[in-house]
Chains A and B, each alone.
Chain A
Amino acid sequence: MRGICGLTMAVAVVLLAGCTSTPIQPAGISLAPNVPQVLNQGEALTVSAVVSNDPNKKGVMWSVSPNMGSLLYQTPTSVTYLAPETVSSNFIATLTATSLANPMETAPLVVTVVAPGQQNVQPIAVDGGPNPNQTHFNVPYTSVLICVPGTSNCQTVDGILVDSGSVGLRLFKSQLSIPLQSISLSGGSLNACQSFANMQFLWGEVAPADVYMAGERATGISIQLIADPTEFSIPMDCSNGGTDADSPQIFPGNGILGVGDEPTDCTLAGVNYCDPNSASSPPPTYFVCFGSQGCAPTLLPKGQQLANPIAAFATDNNGEVLEFPSVGTAMTAVGGTLTFGINTQPNNGVGTATVFAIDSKNSFTTIFSGQQLTMSYVDSGSNELFFPNVTGISLCSDDFSYCPTNPPILLSAMNQGANNLGTGTISFQVDNFESDTENNPGAAAFGFIASSDGNPPCQNGQGACTFDWGLPFFYGRRVLTSIDLQTVADEPETPWWAY
């Protein structure tokens, strides 16, 4: 079984892929409290233990890993954990009670200690990702603490793609060691299907889990456990003739943290397309499966749909701020932050950013070289800028990426929010993809690479209508994404992007 990794923010960038394992074996010891706790620096927490099969009342001994903070007033039935007086970055510690009568019996309690002002700050790293022998560039990764609901039976999963362009937490089941139970529906198992425009898809069971990030918690939310079924084939409604992205050769991480602009993965512009209260016909998003008898699409109450974990927080739940330093041409790795909430804390204000309203197609308009690209969007899960080749830039040998013969090319575009809410001009640079990648072997962050998103025109909503402002756009910026159906104080109705 895989254990908790305590990471400080400072080392998280380097060590996201290097967690060590600590065995956790819940046994006849019950702790109070029994779910993960959040402490500030210098704060104390008293924990008590009861051992059920302990006739001689020997009780427990206590330990903490990593060895940060102190254990005070230790008795066989209680302890006080005192967080370090000064904490410069968030970390996770695991208190462990070990039965003195039977040292094989242990019980963990996970404690997140937050640094001042960091309660809502989750570190991110563009570091090439967790897949062996692969460097995925411009993919932002983070780690998430995930627990069996209502317990301290938890593990940290690292190498999770931070995606402001989708909704819901999806983890490869092969990465999970804790026993998450999938939701049962009419005697079948509940499964989710995520389709991408490139006809790749992700399939897997839906299970409730407690999700912890920084000092925030989303308890009992549905997540997807990505895995191929063993007793039946993935229904055609989901696969649709496309490619199962369920492999490290295709998918660049251990999972995906969808923190886009909707509260669930089946909501768009305030309408829930899967909830029986608002939908009549099930879309190809949720399926109930009966082993070898196969699957049928199903409606699903919104409370059981894959939730945007941020929207499920008790506080700081109306959106997020993604922030990266400038990268220039290339960097081996770069760290950034995912800050939860908008206008809820001193560190997540809109400030001087311009708000761009999102339309009912989850898009805004980018005006680029005379083209009105009406299906444009901002997306941390896109690893380049993708835009139609309006200006006739030379393509690389892959017939896709931009390889201008006289780099760099300096371009500009204007973004226009829905109903004209928000306009602004952006200048951006396009380098030669091949020379930037060849001159910077091993680099994971590239600031000036872009690819073609088809050839003009965009006409009548078909053709090349998308400017995808992917991760290079985020470098050197603060980009805010607000969540539909939530409210942001002092700002227009959600959803919107701001930068």
Chain B
Amino acid sequence: MKNPVWFVGLGLKAYDLFPRLLVVLLSVVVPASAELGGDTASVYRDMERMHGTVQLRNTQQYTIFEINGPTGTTVREFVGPDGIVFGIAWEGRFIPEMDQVLGTYFDQYSAAVKAVTGRYFGRRHLDMRLPNLVFESNGHMGWYYGRAYIPESVPKETKLEDIH
């Protein structure tokens, strides 16, 4: 299992990197965590809470902050040119902490989940299309994957299937 390496106070902002780097893989270890709808600083807060390492990857439309937590779960946070996290995706042995990665969208998510799963639900996956939030959760014991994004904040020309 990977041990977290701490690299304190790097203080990079996602949008600072845009002009300079096209495909950069930084094995930075910033205290990591970003949240949906938050700014880049929130990415680092997420990372800190996850005790994770982060890698950055730039594309034409957005930057991906990939946080690898020590419990074997990977969270990718998608930051648009405006510096706002418009999508998150996860996969791994454990489901990430939703209050952390969903930020201000957590309450909306939680109310919707409770409404649809407050009865016998079997092993069904979740696929919720809410007014300002799409939330998908899938997988089974041993491996979980899913994603959440803000449809109106997804940069133009971004393919939704690329949020993974």
Residue positions of A touching B, CB distance < 8 A: 134, 136, 165-167, 194-200, 236-237, 240-243, 249-252, 258, 260, 262, 265, 268, 271, 273, 278-285, 361-363, 375, 377, 379, 381-384, 386, 400, 451, 453-454, 457, 459-466, 468, 470
Contact = CB atoms under 8 A, between A and B. Distances in A.
Interface in B119-139: 119-127, 136-139
B120 A250 contact: yes
A246 to B, nearest CB: 12
B113 A199 contact: yes
Given A199-B113, A379-B123, A462-B164, A279 B118 contact: no
Interface residues of B, number: 49
B69 interface: yes
14 contacts: A197-B140, A198-B124, A241-B110, A242-B114, A243-B113, A258-B141, A265-B141, A278-B1, A281-B71, A284-B95, A386-B124, A400-B124, A453-B125, A454-B136
B97 A240 contact: yes
A453 to B, nearest CB: 6
A250 B137 CA distance: 19
B120 A454 contact: no
Interface string B127-164: 10000000011111111111100000000000001111
Nearest to A266: B93
Contact of A165 (B89, B123, B137): B123
Given A250-B118, A379-B140, A457-B161, A197 B146 contact: yes
B146 to A, nearest CB: 7
B91 interface: yes
Interface of B: 1, 3-4, 51, 69-72, 89, 91, 93-95, 97-99, 102, 106, 109-110, 113-114, 117-127, 136-147, 161-164
A495 B127 CA distance: 30
A283 B97 CA distance: 10
A195 B95 contact: yes
B7 to A, nearest CB: 17
Q: Is the interface of A mostly helix, strand, loop or mixed?
A: loop
A351 B108 CA distance: 52
B1 A383 contact: no
Given A198-B137, A242-B110, A462-B161, A273 B93 contact: yes
Contacts of A465: 138, 145
A283 B144 CA distance: 14
Contacts of B139: 197, 375, 466
A417 to B, nearest CB: 16
A268 B114 contact: no
Given A242-B113, A260-B141, A461-B145, 15 more contacts: A134-B120, A196-B141, A197-B146, A198-B126, A199-B95, A262-B142, A271-B1, A283-B94, A284-B94, A400-B124, A453-B138, A459-B164, A462-B91, A462-B161, A463-B161
